[in-house]
Structure 1
Amino acid sequence: MPSSLALAILSVIQPAFAEDNVLPTITLTAANSQSDGDVPTTTQSLKSEQPLFKTAKSVSVVTKEQIEKKQAMNLTDAIQGVAGVISAPLGRRGADDFIIRGQLSSDAIYVDGLRQAQASDSPSNITGLERIEVVKGPDSMDFGQTAPGGIVNLVTKRPVQGDFNQLDLRYGSHNLRQIGVDTNHTIEGSDKAAWRLNANYSDQDDATDHVYFKNFYISPSYNFDLGDQTDLSVIASYNHKEYVRQQGLPVYGSILPNNNGQVSRHLFIGEPSVDPYLSDSMRIGYNLKHIFDDGWTFKQNFAVQNSRLDGQAVFINKSTANSSTITRQGRDQHYDDVNFSIDNNIAKTVELGNMQHHLMLGLDGMHDTRDIWNYNCTITALNIYAPRYANQDWCATKALRSDSVETTLKTMGVYFKDQVDVTDRLNINLGLRHDWASVDAKSNYNDNESSKSSQAFSGSIAGLYTYNDWVSPYVSYSTSFLPVTDVDVDGNVFDPEKAKQYEVGLKFQALDQRLQASLAWFDLTRFNVVSSDANGDKYQTGEENTQGIETELAVRILPNWVVSANYSYLPTARIVDNEISGYEGKRLNNVSEQMFNLNTRYQFNQGALQGWFIGAGVRSESKKSSYKYDYTLPGYALFDAEMGYDAGTWQASVNAKNIFDKEYYAGGLSNNVVTVGDERQVNFNLRYKF
């Protein structure tokens, strides 16, 4: 980011921190580097950039450097290890599946603060990301209609000042081959104009027979030079993915005994002749910012995205303890989503009554149309010990399912925020929002139509006290509002979901920003939950409650030694009320009570080993149980390691995940299906900068 823009940003926000000796340094660093390295200090997801130490809510940041060190291949890899997040509980099915604070939040994916679709049908690509931010708890104040557990905000890479080129090559287990390019160039004679291009191609088989993943991604972006007071960035992206779904294993013969013995963990329950899933996602948008002479700052964020997913999958219908065969159901699926999103706000810092008020007034909206065509296909049973596949078009005859529907979601919200610096140390954050939403559903099965309009107030209030330069305690209360696009057995659209959360926490930092840590307790309640019975019919009126503690730490102990760790404890994750008999009081699906993660990297900076680095990590989850299935998934601990050499212009490394090849289960789907965890993965990585 050019120095003139950094000074402009600083001139807007500095009055709020004029008497603080630490925080202006944080802001200046973020403005010039775009990234916080291994120890993130800021968040960019709450309508404006803020220091984490001064943010009265739980926000976890995964920086570009951390993504690279994890050797993450997808979004679930990248957010694995974030406190309060259970990543990929549904296995390697090719989708972005994750749970935040006990609530399934897979559809709550935002790009640069804008929701990308009603549902995450098409998987995300992380190649073009500067950082990933997980904002926890209900937060309609900042994001409009949101999931109660929290959201994942993908912050894209943008052009910066300076020319560079980077080439990444990777080869690894299961025949992994990957190449990536990141090139950035400034326009001669301009302090702001620049362009950037990110591209990536990967091809990998899976431990499961006949399963594979191929991906191509390209993203160009451009910064315009419109003067010192105006910034405009335009970014486009195209992501194509081809893959075969890994649909898990039968319960009997895996987690539960089968009279015929254990099944192979490499068993493919589908058909080799299956049509692979083809996912195409195209997106273009812009960020506009203008600073007026009187101190007001206007921002507009807009994007349009089209996503399409087509493919076939085979699901297990029934698994029994004394049978060598499973009954199956074939499915042919087609999803198409077109999304328009916009957010406008204007902000200014003013003095009122010896207090500084950081005021913001905004208006946002979204128009999203999602068209679903689902077909059932007749398919034969499969011997899971000696599989014989059809090797033919098993879905030539198919029947349209009743859940084939086109839904249009239209939303508009107006919001007002006031961050009040009551004293040099006490900050009060107030927010109020009103949303209007309409859902129109038309059945592709029988042409029935249904619609529902709704509106709601939501908001938040939080207080943070900077006790000293090391500790900031805070307390917050927030609510959310989420229109539901599902329909009941009669084709009627459900009522919107709502949620509320109480949170109390502490933020920690070191004076030189080499340490950032947090501790939070929360109580989250979700209302109007939609549930499915054994026949797949959906009902509403449910209520769920989760309570727990999360703590995170990132510290640079020495200039060449970094450690990060987190721990989550979720003793309460239960169904309070449900229309379906027998669900009440039981624990939510795939929610571990405890999770722990620890990672460290040490780089030698002198002597014969100068340039070499080593690293290690451990990630663990306790056992999982659920109201939906009659078995318990055992807990596990996985160990990772890395070693490499950094010569400055080039770097080579070897990374190993699950180095002891621990067999574990990622989650349960039903009383018939369990998903398997990842086997050992060893990658050789080469990076060249020029």
Structure 2
Amino acid sequence: MRLSGYLRSSFFSCALMSVAWPISFLSETHAQSSLPPVTVDAPDVRRPVSAARQAATTRRGATVRRARSPASAAAARPIEQGPGSQGQRDADGSIGVVATQSSAGTKTNTPLIETPQSISVITRTQLESQAVRNVSQALNYTSGVFGEPRGQVNGYFEFPYIRGFSPAGFLYLNGLQLLGASAGLQIEPYGLQRIEVVKGPSSILYGSGPPSGIVNLVSKMPTAKQFGEIQLSGGDFDRKQVAFDIGGPADPQGQFLYRLTGLVRDAQTQVDFTRDDRYFIAPAVTWRPNENTSFTVLAQAQKANSGFFNFLPAQGTFLPNVNGRISTSLYGGDPNFNRSTIESAAVGYQFEHRFSDVVTVRQNYRHAWLDVNADNIFTGAFLPNQQRIVTRTAFSNRDRYDADTLDNQVQLNFNTFDLRHTVLAGYDFQNSVQDKKTGTGVAPSLDLFNPTYYVPITAPAFTVNTTQDFQQNGVYLQDQIKFGRFVTQLGIRNDRANTDTLNNFTNKTASQTDEATTKRAGLLYLFDSGVAPYGSYSESFQPQPGTDFFGAAFKPTTGKQWEAGVKYQPTFFNGLFTAAVFEITRQNVTTPDTAPGHQGRSVQLGEVVSRGLELESRVSLTNELDILAAYTYLDAKVTKSTNLLGDLGKRPVGIPTNAASLWADYTFRSGALNGFGVAGGVRYTGSTAANADNSIEVPSYTLYDAAIHYELAYLDPRLKGFKLAVNATNLFDRVYTASCLSTTNNQCFYGLRRTVLGSLTYRW
């Protein structure tokens, strides 16, 4: 089934290209009159001249040079230099913490100031400045995002919330979904160039998904400039890590470029008996036979000895317990039983060819697999009439995921009278196969205040043994139209998704087919001052495997968003400011069936509405000061439900109403402290509901982060290229509960305690 699907996709790709060839010849006569994308010459980043200023002067008619190709993404075409640092241009074109373009929202590398949708970009400079440990932690200073609701839980999923909804299982790597909707995977942030957060329904370009939006991870790519980096780091919880990143041209002509990124980590965590070990390697090669064609092969492999789910009760974490506070290092499992080995690999390519100034075609493909071999013990409820001993459940999980993903695109840039069009037509296909075995059994109870470990525990027999094959085919069309200062974005897509679930015990297959058409529209106006107000509408859909009590298949959940906002890209310094208000309605949400005799079944009567305000600023002033600021107000409510859990009209669990953050990084560029930098940040997270009826709330908390760094060449010229840095997360060691999923089942999560990491980096 996977092979036939891929052949169909390849056939469709050839058909798209066969259409593009005659269009390219016919369009040659229009090439001179059309307005292809332009690229402004890079600024001298030593002076306070911003990319925003260039964009503004371009709109006013300044001299520009014509781009060699439209370029679908920052990663689609190698950049002419290697990794950057504070105040310098990064390999993807961003300066400091400010990115001015993104492909995630449109797949056409559109300037953020011209995109009528809220998109946040975490640059490589920010990832390094904050020394992030995982993708979720990298999102902590982003508006609209609750990055670490599971606190210090170290599983193989990323668990952020975006605008009140979770995109878990919907991470994207270089524009292609990772492993399918039901799989999760932690991607090593050292291998990333940037992280792009597209907020709100995004099915028009990406197919099935939640209304939260997507998190697109962009890999480090080969560059045309030779460079190298090696980094040694270590810190709390006996963390030891070595990483390297090298690349450049492989031949004198520069037709072949390469990059090799790798990492080895040996580490414990704040929870006793748990590990955070990892091996990661990511090679990449680009072939550029001419200025119009590029072909990049990307691969990565990762093995992790990590993954645990430390569920804790509310009594003893944030609520009083007669026995005192539960230790933040308490391990709810047993080292004699628990284990978690996660292996993954991926290989694929990105192809782009520009036929003319009008026509460009692209094809992106990836095959990925993931193996999970895990045994965990979950703590449950307290034994009756006491707050000390909890029941426990043993859980065994063996998962194997295989996924093929293909995305074909034809981009047309042309004029019709005074309208400048950027049309994107595409067909994408994905096929993910999951072999899943799970089993649950009873485990010995545990005294949370005097735990006993290394007790005999019988591995549970597998009670679930399924093979699920998910296929999705999507055709999409998007037109970005410029008329004077107006920018309009229109899009439509049709998807067909098929899910076949084979019960390997009974040899019976349950099949489900869903089809959906989603739409998007947006309008934006560009002022000379750099101000751009906009409004937009977008939709999403997400298949829901399963049936109700009567055997009827669940309909896909749907999402609709209205958004209005304003963006400001100053003309006199490098920065980007955004403000947005939005309303998202998610329908067909499953809710418990309250009919007599239907206990344990669900019906689709649920609806959740999320309304909010987001403010965000990203500023890089010269090469000395970077500033990030964000504020989020979120009013999320369950508006339709059977109310069996008392959730009607209540906030969903784990979603803060208010959140704010501020980060600043300053580096001295003169005087006795030349080359020395200091950074600090503060993060506020408001209270969250701990149970469905909102009768219990997790208290708000404020955390502080800090860092110092020093470029050692200013101490001794012979140390050129060396940089020393020390980062502290939760500087004042606040003990806090990040959130709860349920107080009835004791599913609360401690946040990360103070963590200090030191690193020594050498670049050449």
TM-score bracket for this pair, using the shorter chain length: over 0.9
Query: Equivalent residues in 2 for 1:358-507 (5 A)?
Result: 358-392=422-456, 394-396=457-459, 398-401=460-463, 404-423=465-484, 425-444=485-504, 446-485=506-545, 493-507=553-567
Structure 1 CA distance for aligned equivalents of residues 702 and 387 of structure 2? 32
Aligned twin of 1:291: 354
What do the CA deviations read for 1:4-63 (whole angstroms, capped 9, x no partner)?
Answer: xxxxxx984139997555896998997654241321111121211111111110000001
- Whole-Å separation in 1 of the counterparts to 2:128 and 2:366: 27
1:70 aligns with 2:144: no
What corresponds to 1:602 in structure 2? 666
Whether the aligned pair in 1 keeps the contact of 2:306 and 2:341 (CA below 8 Å) is yes
- Quick check: 261-270 or 117-126, which moved more? 117-126
* Superposed displacement of residue 246, structure 1: 4.1
* Amino acid in structure 1 at the alignment position of 2:111: P
CA distance in 1 between partners of 2:265 and 2:600 (Å): 36
Are residues 1:53 and 2:113 paired?
yes
2:319 counterpart of 1:256: yes
1:454 Cα deviation from its structure 2 partner: 1.7
CA change 1:491–1:187 in 2 (3 A) is: farther
Which residue among 91, 109, 112 is the counterpart of 2:174? 112
Could you say which residue in structure 2 is the equivalent of 1:342?
Answer: 406
Secondary structure of the corresponding residue to residue 149 of structure 2: coil
1:266-324 per-residue CA deviation (whole Å, 9 max, x = no partner) reads 21111111241111111001110001136210011111101111111111221266232
Give the superposition deviation at 1:488: 5.5
Is the alpha carbon distance of 1:135 and 1:21 closer, same or farther for their aligned partners in structure 2, counting shifts above 3 Å? farther
Show the 5 A alignment for 1:93-132.
Answer: 93-94=154-155, 95-116=157-178, 117-132=180-195
Cα displacement string for residues 620-678 of structure 1 (whole angstroms, at most 9, x for unaligned residues): 10100154374211001101111121135110011111111001111112221210000
Contact 1:640/1:659 (8 A) holds in 2:
yes
Matched, 1:223 2:286: yes
**Do residues 662 (structure 1) and 721 (structure 2) align?**
no
Rounded to whole Å, the distance in 2 between the matches of 1:347 and 1:679 is: 48
2:672 partner SS = helix
Structure 1 gap ranges (5+): 1-9
Matched, 1:681 2:745: no
Given candidates 262, 267, 272, the residue that maps to 1:209 is: 272
Q: How many residues align?
A: 677
Q: Are the equivalent residues in 2 in contact too, given 1:99–1:149 (CA < 8 A)? A: yes
Taking the TM superposition and a 5 Å limit, the aligned residue runs for 1:549-628 are 549-570=613-634, 572-581=635-644, 582-628=646-692
Cα contact 2:491–2:520 (8 A) shared by 1: yes
Deviations along 1:235-262, one digit per CA (max 9) or x if unpaired, are 0000111125141322222222223332
Distance 1:327 1:24 in 2: 68
Aligned partners of 1:450 and 1:492 also within 8 Å? no
- Residues in 2 aligned to 1:462 and 1:395: alpha-carbon distance in whole angstroms: 57
Structure 1 distance, partners of 2:403, 2:572, is: 43
Label 1:34 to 1:15 Cα distance change in 2 as closer, same or farther (>3 A): closer
CA apart distance, 1:379: 0.8
Structure 2 CA distance for aligned equivalents of residues 11 and 645 of structure 1: 45
Flag the 1:384–1:293 CA change in 2: closer, same or farther, 3 A: closer
Distance 1:230 1:27, change over 3 A: closer
Return closer, same or farther for 1:148/1:25 CA change in 2, 3 Å cut-off: farther
- Which residue of 1 is the match for residue 98 of structure 2? 39
CA contact (8 A) 2:38 2:65 kept: no
CA gap 1:605/1:113 in 2 versus in 1, 3 angstroms: same
In structure 1, what residue type is equivalent to 2:727?
A: N
Q: Shift of the alpha carbon at 1:400?
A: 2.9
Shift of 1:124: 2.0
Mark the runs of 5 or more structure 2 residues left unpaired by the alignment: 1-33, 41-54, 81-90, 714-719
Letter in 1 for 2:277: K
How far apart, in 2, do the equivalents of 1:195 and 1:509 lie? 34
SS at match of 2:143: coil
Distance 1:15 1:43 in 2: 14
More strand by share: 1
Q: Which has the higher contact order (CA 8 A, sep 6+)?
A: 2
Q: 2:689 is paired with a residue of what secondary structure?
A: coil
Distance 1:479 1:205 in 2: 42
Are the structure 2 counterparts of residues 316 and 194 from structure 1 closer, same or farther at C-alpha, using a change threshold of 3 Å? same
Give, in whole Å, the separation in 2 of the partners of 1:673 and 1:255: 12
Report the equivalent of 2:710. 645
CA contact (8 A) 1:587 1:627 kept: no
| Alignment check: 8 A CA contact 1:334 1:374 kept | yes
- Given that residues 257 and 286 in structure 2 are in contact (C-alpha distance below 8 angstroms), is that contact kept between their aligned partners in structure 1? yes
Q: Is residue 706–residue 731 contact of structure 2 (8 Å, CA) maintained in 1?
A: yes
Partner of 1:266: 329
Shift of 1:531: 4.5
Q: Secondary structure at the match of 1:381?
A: strand
> Distance between the aligned counterparts of 1:280 and 1:487, measured in 2?
32
The DSSP-based 3-state class of the residue aligned with 1:399 is: coil
Q: Which residue of 2 aligns with 1:13?
A: 37
Higher mean alpha-carbon deviation, 289-298 vs 66-75, is at 289-298
- For 2:579 and 2:586, the matched residues in 1 are separated by 23
1:113-152 correspondence to structure 2 within 5 Å: 113-116=175-178, 117-152=180-215
The residue type equivalent to 1:114 in the other structure is: L
Is the contact between residue 23 and residue 51 of structure 1 (CA under 8 Å) also seen in structure 2?
no
CA contact (8 A) 2:558 2:586 kept: yes
Alpha-carbon distance in 1 for matches of 2:131, 2:551 = 44
Q: Judge conservation of contact 1:219–1:238 (CA < 8 Å) in 2.
A: yes
Give the alignment's TM-score, normalised by structure 2.
0.85
Please report the RMSD computed on the Cα atoms of aligned residues, expressed in angstroms.
2.5
* Aligned residue type for 1:13: P
* TM-aligned CA deviation for residue 156 of structure 1: 0.9
Shift of 1:469: 3.0
Q: Indicate the SS of the match to 1:66.
A: helix
The 3-state SS of whatever aligns with 2:276 is strand
Supply the AA of the counterpart residue of 1:619.
R
The 5-angstrom pairing of residues 480-559 of structure 1 reads 480-485=540-545, 493-512=553-572, 514-531=574-591, 538-559=602-623
1:635 aligns with 700
What one-letter code is carried by the residue in structure 2 that aligns with 1:14? V
Whichever residue aligns with residue 38 of structure 1, its letter is V
How much has 1:530 moved relative to structure 2?
A: 3.0
The answer as to whether partners of 1:587 and 1:626 remain within 8 angstroms in 2 is no
Instruction: Measure the CA separation in 1 of the matches of 2:545 and 2:313.
Output: 31
Structure 2 Cα separation of the partners of residues 517 and 27 of structure 1: 27
Q: Which amino acid aligns with 2:290?
A: G
Which residue is equivalent to 1:191? 254
Shift of 1:391: 3.5
Q: Distance in 1 between matches of 2:571 and 2:65?
A: 11
Report how far residue 446 of structure 1 moved. 4.5
Identity, % of aligned positions: 28
Task: Go from structure 1 to structure 2 and tell me whether the alpha carbon gap of 1:630 and 1:319 turns closer, same or farther (over 3 Å shift).
Answer: farther
Cα 1:536–1:631 change in 2 (3 A) is farther
